[in-house]
Amino acid sequence: MTAPLSPTLAAHGAQIPALGFGTSPMTGGLSPDTVVAALQSGYRHIDTAWKYGTESAVGEAMRASGVPRQDIFLTTKVSHEYLRADAFAKSVDESLKALKVDQVDLLLVHWPNSEIALRETMPALAKAKRQGLARHIGVANFNIALLDQAIALCPEPLVALQAEYHPYLDQTKLLAAARARGLVFVAYCPLGRGRLFGDPVLAEIATARGKSIAQVALRWLMQQGVAAIPRSSNPQRIADNFKVFDFTLNDDEMARIAALKRPNGRIANPGGRVSGGWD
Ligand SMILES: NC(=O)c1ccc[n+]([C@@H]2O[C@H](COP(=O)([O-])OP(=O)(O)OC[C@H]3O[C@@H](n4cnc5c(N)ncnc54)[C@H](OP(=O)(O)O)[C@@H]3O)[C@@H](O)[C@H]2O)c1
């Protein structure tokens, strides 16, 4: 039986499937079979990046899956070392070649770089869109001040902000800022990269709902109108993580999960890249 597809979130003409699949490097690398399993489970939004070294496996999986290219929302990213115009264009070219596609659906700046001006990067990002290499564009790991600079300096609309978000990390301010600017917020590390699985509150809610902790954490994001891109290398967990559209958390459960935020909840935090620090 074909799994029902994820609902989509809209921004400036983009329709982004709310539940996607992450492909950052796994121990032993990414097997195309893993991404095929995700596509067979119903995922239609795949997140990769030049930096992950997983683009060729993602491309191979997309071709092997039998799912039509136009049904898949494919994201890749340009790494922070390549944010000068020439290097940016070269990185996009390498990504498309590795993926063996003519165009990605979403092209993101992977991280800001405090040593390269956004006035150089944002026109390069817009150019990739105007050349037809990306249907939509956005940024990742930007704080609100950088996001505003990026929007002001970009001649094409940004559709998405990708950033870390899970119950242990408070992203109230950044989420409100993304919404106010009409961007879809895409949550990475939505399972806290495994840190959530021993949590007693999540376990209690999961047991009460007959769901897993992963499903509860992902549902919590879905009910905030946020997209999420969980990763798993296990076909059963890949399929289970997609089954989050058949139950609803009540207001009390949503609030109890939000209350799990903690000051040291952030996982991805390489020093010095985000001018002004996190919001
Ligand atoms: N833009 C950025 O800077 C950035 C940064 C980080 C991540 N990302 C993107 O976000 C994606 C997701 O983040 P992430 O990969 O760091 O972490 P994550 O999705 O929060 O967690 C992945 C971990 O959870 C485990 N897991 C998944 N489902 C599970 C389940 N149902 N039960 C138990 N364990 C489960 C996986 O192990 P198994 O494989 O054993 O299931 C894996 O160790 C990445 O793959 C990448 O595409 C983007």
Q: For position 201, which CATH number holds?
A: 3.20.20.100
Count structural domains, the chain. 1
| pLDDT reported for residue 205 | 98
Beta bridge partners of 140: 162
| pLDDT reported for residue 222 | 98
Q: Is residue 199 part of a domain?
A: yes
Could you give the CA distance from residue 103 to residue 152 in angstroms, rounded to a whole number? Answer: 25
List residues with catalytic annotation: 52
DSSP track, 204-220? HHHHHHT--HHHHHHHH
| C-alpha of residue 225 to centroid of ligand 1, in Å | 20
One digit per residue, pLDDT tens: the chain, 279 residues?
456 799 999 999 999 999 999 999 877 789 999 999 999 999 999 999 999 999 999 999 999 999 999 999 999 999 999 999 999 999 999 999 999 999 999 999 999 999 999 999 999 999 999 999 999 999 999 999 999 999 999 999 999 999 999 999 999 999 999 999 999 999 999 999 999 999 999 999 999 999 999 999 999 999 999 999 999 999 999 999 999 999 999 999 999 999 999 999 999 999 888 988 999
Q: Is residue 164 part of a domain?
A: yes
Q: Is residue 109 part of a domain?
A: yes
Q: Give this prediction's pTM.
A: 0.98
Q: Is residue 267 part of a domain?
A: no
Q: Is residue 191 part of a domain?
A: yes
| pLDDT reported for residue 2 | 54
Residue pair 109/83 in contact (Cβ under 8 Å)? The answer is yes
Alpha helices, DSSP H only, in 29-170? 32-41, 55-65, 85-99, 118-130, 144-153
Phi-psi region of 13 (alpha: psi -120 to 50; beta: other; left: phi over 0): left
Structural domain for 172, as ranges: 13-258
Nearest CA to ligand 1 atom 5: 188
| pLDDT reported for residue 1 | 46
Nearest CA to ligand 1 atom 48: 188
| C-alpha of residue 29 to centroid of ligand 1, in Å | 14
Residues with a CB atom less than 6 Å from ligand 1 = 22-24, 47, 110, 140-141, 162, 188-194, 197, 212, 214, 229-234, 237, 240-241, 268
Q: Is residue 82 part of a domain?
A: yes
| C-alpha of residue 221 to centroid of ligand 1, in Å | 14
| pLDDT reported for residue 76 | 98
Which of 232, 241, 266, when mutated, tests ligand 1's pocket best, judged by the most ligand atoms within 8 Å of its CB? 232
Q: Is residue 110 part of a domain?
A: yes
| C-alpha of residue 230 to centroid of ligand 1, in Å | 5
| pLDDT reported for residue 28 | 79
| pLDDT reported for residue 275 | 87
Q: Is residue 68 part of a domain?
A: yes
> Which tokens sit at 179?
């919404």
Could you give the CA distance from residue 252 to residue 134 in angstroms, rounded to a whole number? Answer: 41
